[in-house]
Amino acid sequence: MSGLGGLNKSPNGVVIGLVQLQLPVVETPAQLKAQAERICWMVGKARRNLGTMDLVVFPEYALHGLSMSTAPELMVSLDGPEVASFKAACIEHRIWGCFSIMEANPGGNPYNTGLIIDDQGQIQLYYRKLHPWVPVEAWEPGNMGIPVCTGPNGSKIALIICHDGMFPEMAREAAYKGAEIILRTAGYTAPIRHAWKITNQSNAFQNLAYTASVCLCGSDGSFDSMGEGMFCSFDGSVMVAGGGRPDEIITAELRPDLVREARALWGVENNPYQLWHRGYVAVKGGAQDCPYTFMQDMVAGRYQLPWAVQVTDGTPCGFAPPERSYRGAEVNPFEKKQD
């Protein structure tokens, strides 16, 4: 049930719109400015489209397109005019918004950053993409973890970006930190269509969470993004699915209260709980250990695959081998402690 896409909103519902935004061409500061204005116009379209909508979600690369340019004049800062315009649009149209920016980083390559801004123009979630789509993307790996914010109607929301969603650990971490709705924004093109669908479904089911996912859409003359907005319920079923029509807004009402109920009451397939309480029928409280070698090795700093890997830097895509090491984690200034 999606409340007919949010037309019939329940007292416990959160109505989300996923914008299958037309893939833009952004090669100059003037084009960047024009695209920011277009995104703000689309925020208004979302409000006009559905008066019950709580949150409008734009795809990864909505502002910058798929050029992968790291040119300084095209990079964005949190105190710059682009983010200011997004805040103003959310205030004007009384709606929350999820936006994508390529953020200037004085200490290295730019970050691929996602923002959730509330209807008062305040940043409620700030996320740096943890898993750039290597070897294609040159973005700095995120170093602030996966934040969760309190969203409309008391919902708990996380954001992961594109390639992030191919790692089951990402959605599990979001759920572990309390997320009931996991947003996934992307710029994916058609070769990823099948993997996109099955991972959105599995991320939902394995974590008893809703997933709301959307890609850019249409062609920029070089690339063809696929749209494919989709909402998945916490049982893994597809609630609403979009196609390939640019600028279509796919909508659904999600019910975080039902996620909370399932997480509390399900016995069979309550996977987030059972991960740490395996076999609780046989032994008191279940086996509370970590039998997974890859987890143990990552924590110990000795993760190593039992096979050879040939592509280990960006040289196949024209990038020079990096010469500096990862500088480590930072504190997220926007992350608030969840209840």
Calpha distance 305→316 (Å, rounded)? 21
Q: In this predicted structure, what is the pLDDT of residue 216?
A: 97
Residue in 162, 215, 217, 232 annotated catalytic = 162
Distance, in Å, from the CA atom of 250 to the CA atom of 240, rounded to the nearest integer, reads 8
Active site residue 129: yes
Which helix (H) or strand (E) segment holds residue 91: the answer is helix 81-93
pLDDT digits (tens, 9 = 90+) for 98-130: 999 999 999 999 999 999 999 999 999 999 999
Buried b (16+ CB within 10 A) or exposed e, 197-231: bebbbbbbbbbbbbbbbbbbbbebeebbbbbbbbb
Instruction: Using the structure block, give the residue that is written with the tokens 């659904």.
Output: 252
What is the structure's pLDDT at 336?
Answer: 79
Catalytic residue of the set 9, 60, 82, 232: 60
**Are 20 and 251 spatial neighbours (Cβ–Cβ below 8 Å)?**
no
Those residues with Cβ within 8 angstroms of residue 197's Cβ, 6 or more apart along the chain or in another chain: 228, 230, 238
Q: How far apart are the first and last CA of the chain?
A: 28
Q: Determine whether 162 is an active site residue.
A: yes
Read off the pLDDT of each residue in 74-80 and give the average, rounded to a whole number.
98
7-52 tens-digit pLDDT: 999 999 999 999 999 999 999 999 999 999 999 999 999 999 999 9
Query: Rounded distance, CA 97 to CA 86, Å?
Result: 8
Of these residues, 129, 215, 248, 253, which one is catalytic?
Answer: 129
Give DSSP secondary structure letters for 183-200: EEEE--BGGGHHHHHHHH
For the chain, domain boundaries: 3-274
Give the up-direction half-sphere exposure of residue 197: CA atoms within 13 A in the CB hemisphere: 14
Q: Please check whether residue 165 is in contact with residue 213, taking contact to mean a CB–CB distance below 8 angstroms.
A: yes
Is 290 considered catalytic here? no
Among 97, 21, 125, 105, smallest CA distance to 64 is for 21
Question: How large a percentage of the chain has pLDDT more than 70?
Answer: 99
- Residue 97 pairs in a beta bridge with 56, 117
pLDDT digits (tens, 9 = 90+) for 242-266: 989 999 999 999 999 999 999 999 9
1 pLDDT band (50/70/90 cuts)?
Answer: low
Q: H/E element holding 302?
A: none
Give yes or no for a contact between 252 and 13, defined as CB atoms under 8 angstroms apart: no
Question: How far is Cα 20 from Cα 316, in angstroms, rounded to an integer?
Answer: 30
Separation between Cα atoms, residue 175 and residue 1, nearest integer Å: 22
Contact 92, 44 (CB under 8 A): yes
pLDDT grade for 2, boundaries at 50, 70 and 90: confident
Given a contact cutoff of 8 angstroms between Cβ atoms, the answer to whether 58 and 18 are in contact is: no
Could you give the CA distance from residue 292 to residue 331 in angstroms, rounded to a whole number? 28
Superfamily for the 3-274 domain: Carbon-nitrogen hydrolase (3.60.110.10)
